[in-house]
Amino acid sequence: MQKRAVTKTPAGKSRRAGTRPALDVAGLRILVVGAARTGVATANFIARRGADVTVTDLRGRELLQPHLGTLEESVAQELGGHRRETFLSRDLIVPSPGVRRDDPLLVEAERAGVAVLSEVEVASRFMPLPVMAVTGTNGKSTTVTAVGEVLEEARIPARVGGNIGNPLIGEVDRLQGVEYVVAEISSFQLEWIETFRPEIAALLNISEDHLDRYRTFEEYVDAKARIFENQGPDDYLVLNADDTLVREVASRARSRKVWFSRRITPLFGVYLFRGWIHARLGRGAGRRVMPVDELRIVGEHNWENALAVTALSMLAGADARSVRRALGRFRGLPHRTEFVRERGGVRYYDDSKATNVGATARTVAGFREPLVLIAGGRDKGGSYGPLVPLMEGRVSKLIVMGEAAGRIAGELGGVVETVRAGGMEEAVAAAVRAARGGGSVLLSPACSSFDSYRDYAERGRHFQDEVRKL
């Protein structure tokens, strides 16, 4: 059977806000690679629209059963391995975010003329609404969640989805009465976009991450920059003026730039001045929005997130009063500088979501009291060097654990007293001894959790359990 061509739209083609190039999947033979949450949501969505769908995964049925239980009966399954002939005989392949771009079968299929599109790209083709898309190395989930709460306060109906946990494609059928789609977008999801064009986009920050997947740091940066690749002069791009790499890649954008900053006053953007968040998103002087002292999210790095939230929300139509009310009660997300408890004058914080060096650096820089830092896990290929200037004067002791313990100790042990622990229980016990003089204990690993845990959340829960036992 001859492969049916997938109609493509030239990237960057101008269109009105809220319109998308159509994608007719009826009758297409489509392969979804990955049978977990995103893969199953994608397979179900396109199967209900008349596609002939197969889902494939290297893992077996036993590991995937929690997800397969919701799979449409019409979707064929190829589990426990991939079949070359299936990849080469499809009209379209939709890889899940965890599938590497250099996967040999995907590379071969693309060379053979098979179209490959990400789940985000496919979802966007069916969305009649303006899309707000947020990417960056750190702070994405916090930002999009807070934007959702501000828009709710402002009575602007919105759906929040994407990399935050509920696939964007799963939100398409839930848009009745909605005015905005707010999406967290990872670099992995941007790798196979074609026409994805958010009317409002944000690039929060860029630091080394996922170098176990990308061949170079530049390749990772280029993937992040695709968030604004298809934007035009009528679209908005919210950018961190305090981030050197963000400023560099921003020169590629054709959209209208909206800067946020803790240090400078942009001509068009959101900024800090005398302890207040100010917004200048129109003509005239900036207006006060809220004092940063009212923020409940901990750490100065969260001031940047609040600035981004303010810019994104107000661009979507929220008023300053709604921003202040929503951000004033927003407590953040689990495992992101989450306060656990205070005991013996020492405060304990769970920042297990800090799975890269940049995230840990941002968190540590946001504390002013002495810290005992617990770090380590599975190394992701980046340098721990950016933490060096933050150790002096902030971190009284560093406790390392996991596969990366030796490498972290090697790079940072000359700067701060370092102790190796055999696991979380030992690490917390060592931290208690080190922090008896007061201050805070911070779990901020700078590594992934996959050496010992299913994910960062399981690692964070283990830390919290050990702390509550004290």
Which tens digits make up the pLDDT trace of 200-238?
A: 999 999 998 887 888 899 999 999 999 999 999 999 999
| Cα separation, 112 vs 87, whole angstroms | 10
Please state the length of the chain.
470
Asked, for residue 441, whether it belongs to a domain, the answer is yes
Query: Domain ends where: 329, 363, 392?
Result: 329
Three-state DSSP state, 245: helix
CA distance 336 to 139: 9
Active site (annotated) includes residue 278:
no
The Cα–Cα gap between 90 and 80 comes to: 19
455 and 350 in a single domain? The answer is yes
Nearest Cα to 90, choosing from 35, 47, 27?
Answer: 27
Answer yes or no: pTM beyond 0.85: yes
Distance CA 141, CA 354 (A): 12
Compute the average pLDDT of residues 47-66: 95
The domain of 158 spans 122-329
- The end-to-end CA distance of the chain, in Å, is 66
- Confirm whether 2 is domain-assigned: no
| Residue 18 belongs to a domain | no
Of the three residues 88, 116, 144, the one that is the final residue of a domain is 116
Q: Which of 329, 358, 388 is the last residue of a domain?
A: 329
Same domain, yes or no: 130 and 260: yes
Instruction: Domain count for the chain, please give it.
Output: 3
**Can you name the residues that pair with 33 across neighbouring β-strands?**
56, 95
- For residues 104 and 110, what is the distance between their CA atoms, to the nearest angstrom? 10
* pLDDT category of residue 8 using cuts at 50, 70 and 90: very low
Q: Is residue 20 part of a domain?
A: no
163 contacts: CB under 8 Å, gap ≥ 6: 97, 140, 141, 183, 184, 185, 186, 189
User: Predicted confidence band at 12 (pLDDT cuts at 50, 70, 90)?
Assistant: very low
Residues 158 and 292 in one domain: yes
238 plus 282 within the same structural domain: yes
375 and 400 Cβ atoms separated by less than 8 Å: yes
Q: Are 376 and 404 in contact (CB under 8 A)?
A: yes
Are 293 and 187 found together in one domain?
yes
Residue 152 to residue 169: CA distance in whole angstroms: 21
- Of the residues 67, 140, 224, 257, which is catalytic? 140
pLDDT at 151 over 70: yes
Interval 419-468: pLDDT, tens: 999 999 999 999 999 998 789 999 999 999 999 999 999 999 999 999 99
Residues 138, 163, 230, 356: which is the catalytic one? 163
Q: 219: domain CATH number?
A: 3.40.1190.10
Q: Are residues 273 and 348 in the same domain?
A: no
140 classed as catalytic: yes
Confidence of residue 14 (pLDDT cuts 50, 70, 90): very low
What's the pLDDT at 210?
82
Is residue 163 annotated as part of the catalytic site, yes or no? yes
Tell me the pLDDT tens digit for each residue of 313-356.
999 999 999 999 999 999 999 999 999 999 999 999 999 999 99
Catalytic residue among 210, 301, 380, 397: 210
Q: Do residues 351 and 462 share a domain?
A: yes
